Structure 1
Amino acid sequence: MDSAVFFDPGPRGRSLLNGNRDEQRALEHALRLSDVLLLTSDEAESLTNIGNPIQAGQELLRRGTRTKWVVIKMGSKGSIMITESAVSCAPSFKIRVVDTVGCGDSFTAAIAFGFLHGLPAISTLALANAVGAATATGCGAGRNVAHLDKVLNLLRESDLNEEGKTWTKLIEGLSACPEVSVLSKTPVNGSSDRFVNVVPVSGVVSDLLSMLEVAPERSTVQA
């Protein structure tokens, strides 16, 4: 079985894109052959010249040879996952931010966990948002990244930073997408927009807790 490749170019992606031919080829090669790409919305735009992060993710997916997931990090708004057949959006969790060091790596570790364990896209995003947020409530990286008990507490509270207009604006710009799902506290499966499936966070959290609560209480989720 081939190893899965996760690639987060970070700010270096832009400098490689504007570098010499060898650097550009190296970036293109890494983008095409990665199973999962992780980028901020600004990074996705710089690599595609497309302002809408969902459309930018779709473009990166088309360019890929083996790319299955493109994950766009939207900062305090949450995160988005683009696959060949669907787009999933998950708002962030409300927290008091102490230190953002290590949040990106923690988020990536949770995405890798979801990918390797075959979790649904919306569940993977919810977990990654919770892990990244839990890390932000501590100070520093290393041993200070998200402990499992903090992640579980955030999931149980399910206090989402919902801004419906954020997702509506992004989704309105899509010309074609088989399915769009948005995680929400709203306990309704469906919405007035025929393109959007509202996924209640309660069900997603219930599934995640049933899997994670069997782990040792002080386990650490880290890259």
Structure 2
Amino acid sequence: MTNHVVIIGSINIDNTLHVARLPQPGETIAMTGFSQAPGGKGANQAVASARSGAATTFVGRVGDDNNGWLMIEKLKKEGIDVRHVVTSHTLPTGQAYILLQESGQNSIIIDHGANYQVMPEDVAAAAEPIKAASFVITECETPIPAAAAAFQQAKQAGVRTILNPAPANQRLTPELLTHTDIIVPNETESGALTGVPITDAASLQANAAYFRDRGVGIVIITLGEKGAYVATPDRAQLMPAFSVQAVDTTGAGDAFIGALASELQPNLSNLTSAVQYAQRASSLAVQGLGAIPSLPHRQAVLAAAQENE
């Protein structure tokens, strides 16, 4: 059965500045190139979900500008339901400015724009698709009150929730965590939120315990090239990553989350294989430039899995 995924999240235009390395304080360096692509954590996750075969609905906001119309058309072309994407007449479409190093690592500066106008009223207007969803996903590039409202609404309807607490600069409210079934931070975000930097197995366990003590059912901490740490009420395991040459890590976590939501059964019975599928999708995404342009389709993920068997 095809999953139905509803995403409450951000829509940005990504402006990528290609550099050999990050400049030091006071230093001026030249770009080696510039590229622009559709992005935003919410939009990335929605496209990743749709390309992996899930029926996908988006709840968010864009500005009344060329970037906004471009993003709506892009999401439509991916087969995503955009009836709950509202146009703001006071703020522009969000933008991200990405410093992409030759190593594939990136640093990102966000201009939230219309994304910060996503409110509980937008969530209430999307009550019908939320009630019919297999999973509801949100992240922290839109305001926490909207995320909390979405998860409360989902749990009242018996729908599973997935929280991507990125960027980790907003306080996760007890209400939001209580209604979170699965949380998926990367190691940096998790350490920032818990106050326990991840350096070893003990700190991984401490981070997972922090979230589980606050009502989260399953904790998945992504560790880049080291894999993903998965903690459930019954067990915890480190699942190794697939070894690839990363070109651009922008959107790697979004590729993971969108693919996970499309593959995971709502009863969570196939958690291990769904995480492996998500890892495979993420490993393919980092081998291309840009977030949305590099997100793989389901056929590519399955083909890559067959090649490595």
Give me the TM-score of the superposition, normalised by structure 2.
0.43
Q: In the alignment, which of 161, 167, 170 is matched to residue 16 of structure 1? A: 170
Shift of 1:115: 4.6
Aligned counterpart, 1:145: 295
> Does the CA-based 8 Å contact 1:40-1:72 persist in structure 2?
yes
* Aligned-partner Cα distance in 2 for 1:84–1:116: 16
Match of 1:55 in 2: 206
Q: Which runs of 5+ in 2 are unaligned?
A: 1-156
CA 1:117–1:141 in 2, change beyond 3 Å: closer, same or farther? Answer: farther
Q: Against the structure 1 CA distance between its residues 120 and 88, is the aligned structure 2 distance closer, same or farther, given a 3 Å change threshold?
A: farther
Task: Report matched runs for 1:55-74 at 5 Å.
Answer: 55-64=206-215, 67-74=216-223
Structure-2 separation of matches of 1:142 and 1:119 = 29
Residue 175 of structure 2 corresponds to which residue in structure 1?
Answer: 29
Post-superposition shift, 1:54? 2.6
What is aligned with 1:125?
Answer: 275
Give the distance between the partners of 2:179 and 2:242, measured in 1 at CA: 32
TM superposition shift of 1:82: 0.7
Residue identity in the other structure for 1:4: R
Amino acid at match of 2:290: G
Q: Find the partner of 1:83 among 208, 211, 232.
A: 232
Instruction: Name the TM-score, length of structure 1 as normaliser.
Output: 0.59
Unpaired runs of at least 5, structure 1:
18-25, 159-201, 203-223
Which one has the bigger helix percentage?
Answer: 1
Shift of 1:43: 1.8
Give 1:112's match in structure 2, choosing from 257, 261, 267.
261
Match of 1:199 in 2: none
**Larger proportion of strand:** 2
Larger Rg: 2
2:149 is aligned to none
Structure 2 Cα separation of the partners of residues 35 and 89 of structure 1: 19
Q: Distance in 1 between matches of 2:270 and 2:211?
A: 21
